[in-house]
Chains A and B, each alone.
Chain A
Amino acid sequence: MRVDKGLITGNQFMFSIICFIQSSSLLTSFLTSVTLQDSWLIVIFGAIFFIPVIFIYREIMLLFPDKNLIQILDEVYGPILGKVFGIIYIWFFLSLTSLNVLDLGDFTKLTIMHETPSVVLMIMCVLVASIAVRHGIGLVTKYSTFFSVTVSCLLIISVLLLLNQIKLENFLPILSLPFKKYVQGTHLITTIPFGELLVFLMIHPSVKLNRKQATKYLFWGFGLGTVSILVVLCQNIAVLGNMLDMFALPTLVTLRLINLGEALSRMEVLFSVILIMLLFFKISVLYYVSVLAVSQMFNTNQLRYLSLAAGALIVCYALTLYPSPVEHAESAKNITPFVWTPIEFLIPLLTLILGKFKKRKQLKEA
């Protein structure tokens, strides 16, 4: 039994993926603090390494076109092991949501609301997101086009306005860091922004894609998202140079530097609004997916009633995750990628292989 209803179009699916990656593109300090001026190279490496993973995701989507991840796990690993994996994924979704809620709270507290306790900000965001969750995935994805087009326009405008401050020598020296840093950076970028695309395995039954469409939308979405990360990173590196790792929010600082004849300045307000919108989009998709996973696990279709309870859980979890933003950043650099690796790559790969065998066996029997 699938517990969600409603359909979304292929375009909305694609723009949701773009939004999803773009929302991490504006918070890149976790990457730039590791690989400094070579971060743009890392994005390209990461994208290349991630392509096989997208193939895995696509194959899983095509193998089980009308089942979401929890159902797939149930079918492939049987009822008991499947439930165990399901619980792991529910934890994964919930912690991703909490991490993003935490990001939003920290960011807002840092930039525009210095004195408001971040719990208030988080609760507001989760309350609004719960409207989206109660109305299903179609409502949030409806706005994905709007969000990603707005963000892209503003990115282009900001690049144009910063042209006078771009110094190409800031990219130098290229490839001078120790090799270990490159490995760490690539691992970071594949697990944190890209690997989170795993959540789309939960909502792909609402899209109804055939092989050709799945390839098209997944790769266009991934490609355009990567391009926007690349643009943001290049802009930050070219403008800030070796001051890059001094700031928690390099993009904000870059935009603050825009000053065109006194008329156009303080662009960082727009940035904060965009970041709030994008993070909100990401949070509502993740929130929806966690609620969906829970209700799928227990086979109820009472998403509406679960949503507020899950929201309370998410806020509490976000508050207790890290004692301070510094520790958050440290753990994002050194611990999270290793925890996410099996969940994002290894289990899907195993699921795909076992699923293929199962399907083949079923075909033979039939």
Chain B
Amino acid sequence: MVLLFLRFLFRKLRFFGSSCLSHKPEGEYHEKQSDECKIKTRLQKSLDSIKDSLGNSCDVKTHTFKFGPEKRFSGAIVFIDGLVSSSTITESILRPIVSWQPIYKLGFSEDELADLVSGELLCAGEVTKVSLLSELTLGCLSGDTAILLDGCPFGLVVSTKGWEKRNVTEPQAETVVRGPREGFTENLRTNTALVRRKLKSENLRVENLIVGRNTQTDICIMYLDGIADPKVIETVKYRISGLDVDSILESGYIEEYIEDAPFSPFATVGYTEKPDVVAARLLEGRVGIVVDGTPIVLTVPMLFIENFQTTEDYYTRPLYASLVRILRFIGYLITVFLPAIYIALINFHQELIPTTLLFTIANAREGTPFPALLEMMIMIFAFEILREAGIRLPRPVGQAISIVGALVMGDAAVSAGLVGAPILITVAITSVAGFLVPAQNDSASLLRLIMMLLASFAGWYGVSMGFLAVLLYIGSLDSFGTSYFDGFAWSTNLQDSIVRMPLWSMVRRPKDIARNNLVRRRFFIPPLRPHSHDDNDDSEREG
């Protein structure tokens, strides 16, 4: 009901929003760009207009120099201090140009000078010839160096990116016992390279988009050509390139703008911090969205089942992996339903509790003043406070918080007669079980509250109805044209849903994601048995 109301509100707001948005000075912005912004032939004029557009910021450095035979040409480089590597500028731009001694007769116009410089003098990997001042400034702003030559209506943008960046480290949020420990960093190129190192396939495509009027954020869309569904790729490109936003600071911004169900408690866009996860998802036909400036990479389409799959499921042996996965499902059910079931039992169905336990619970509840729902709410609220406080605290203070949480909130609350011990146990199990599926923690805490309310006024029946409603709601969600709940469909996907079958038995990709190219391998190949050594098993393997 709350969701319906929100959706209603959202529709109305969207209406107002769109009427407001249409007044944006978008036209002016574009006009200013195309109007008189070509690079001038006079060097000083161009430099002045660049300085003008960057507003004389102190980190913009320009350097004018003379070069060529008898120092008769003059040029200038423009760059932003801190974004460039100064050694690259010295070694591959300034030194070759300034020390240039032509050995043949000079018979070229000043127009051709730019081609000569870029083709014969510069020792850089990436040089672009541009004719607009705005391109030149954008290049400078993203860490490149601009070269301007007197008398030439073109500028050169040389790639000299060299800012301080974080090394590849183990991600804090997704730690593993077995498996690669590297995580993405804030640098876009490092991230795409990390994925490419996993997938040395010629079909890996990386496409670039730039979004954000002020941030001009680079966004890379990665997919495996031939496996990913072209429709999904189209949709992703359409939704991202259609964005008219001020800023993209993190991939969360993109997620919010492109997701299918903005008011759903369930996220319909997946995210991860690990290159091996992205590689595995690309191999199943998903599309990755890498955003500059954040180590979080998005993947679409996302299925509900993805919340319960971790990389380690595939790195450990299938039996144990299946057991752990079932545990995760149970953990999720517990974290959503246990408080509700407790309330339902206490309030409505006391006859279902074994008699001895009933006496214990009644004993514990005798001294407490509040109804079960309120007690449960208080404890869950306290736990959420502790958790939120624990996340953002400086490390050394964290210990104090856990002591306060464990002793004061727990033991003291019981001995003071504020809450009963059974409630405390329920809340503890609930919250610990929630950590089995960290990706769904937000949806779980919301659903838990709704279920508790339902249980408190309609008992077991309310919980059942709530369960059915959630089931129907999840079933109705879509993620980029794929049904969100289809991981459990009666199809080949069952090999990798509630249990994980051995890797050699998964001959097909997930049916709903890689629609056009389902076959991973032609044959079902069980591992070779040791006793087949005396047979001609090598020839079989070749065949």
Contacts and interface: CB of A to CB of B under 8 A. Distances in A.
A126 to B, nearest CB: 10
Interface residues of A, number: 27
Interface stretch (A67-75, A266-274, A334-342): A266-274
B458 A142 contact: no
B464 A273 contact: yes
A135 B472 contact: yes
A272 B472 CA distance: 20
B473 A131 contact: yes
Interface in B457-484: 458-462, 464-465, 468-469, 471-473, 475-476
A146 B348 contact: no
B521 interface: no
Interface stretch (A87-95, A113-121, A166-174): A113-121
Contacts of A113: 348, 458-461
B462 A124 contact: yes
Given A131-B476, A135-B472, A135-B476, A145 B490 contact: yes
B475 A280 contact: no
Interface in A92-140: 108, 112-113, 116, 120-121, 124-125, 128, 131-132, 135, 139-140
B266 interface: no
A106 B333 CA distance: 28
Given A112-B460, A121-B458, A135-B476, A11 B490 contact: yes
Contacts of A11: 490
A276 interface: yes
Contacts of A112: 348-349, 459-461
Given A125-B465, A142-B475, A273 B458 contact: no
Contact of B469 (A121, A128, A146, A276): A128
Contact of A124 (B349, B460, B461, B475): B461
A269 B458 contact: no
B485 A276 contact: no
Residue among B460, B462, B485, B489 with most chain A CB within 10 A? B460
B54 to A, nearest CB: 53
Contacts of A140: 472
B352 A269 contact: yes
Interface in B344-363: 348-349, 352
Interface in B79-133: none
A6 to B, nearest CB: 11
A331 B469 CA distance: 32
A269 B460 contact: yes
B471 A143 contact: yes
A272 B348 CA distance: 14
B461 A276 contact: yes
B488 interface: yes
Interface string A187-203: 00000000000000000
Residue among B460, B461, B469 with most chain A CB within 10 A? B461
B515 to A, nearest CB: 15
A277 interface: yes
B458 A277 contact: no
Contact of B464 (A116, A142, A145, A276): A276
A146 B498 CA distance: 13
Nearest to A274: B464
A37 to B, nearest CB: 30
Interface string B314-356: 0000000000000000000000000000000000110010000
B192 to A, nearest CB: 37
Given A113-B348, A113-B458, A143 B464 contact: no
A139 B472 contact: yes
Contacts of A266: 352
16 contacts: A11-B490, A112-B459, A112-B460, A113-B348, A113-B460, A120-B458, A121-B458, A125-B465, A131-B469, A135-B475, A142-B489, A143-B471, A143-B472, A269-B349, A276-B465, A280-B468
Given A112-B348, A272-B460, 20 more contacts: A108-B461, A112-B349, A112-B460, A112-B461, A121-B458, A124-B461, A124-B465, A128-B465, A128-B472, A131-B469, A132-B472, A135-B476, A139-B476, A142-B489, A143-B471, A143-B475, A273-B460, A273-B464, A276-B461, A277-B468
Interface of A: 11-12, 108, 112-113, 116, 120-121, 124-125, 128, 131-132, 135, 139-140, 142-143, 145-146, 266, 269, 272-273, 276-277, 280
Interface of B: 348-349, 352, 458-462, 464-465, 468-469, 471-473, 475-476, 485, 488-490
Closest 6 CB pairs of A and B: A135-B476, A128-B469, A276-B464, A131-B472, A139-B475, A124-B465
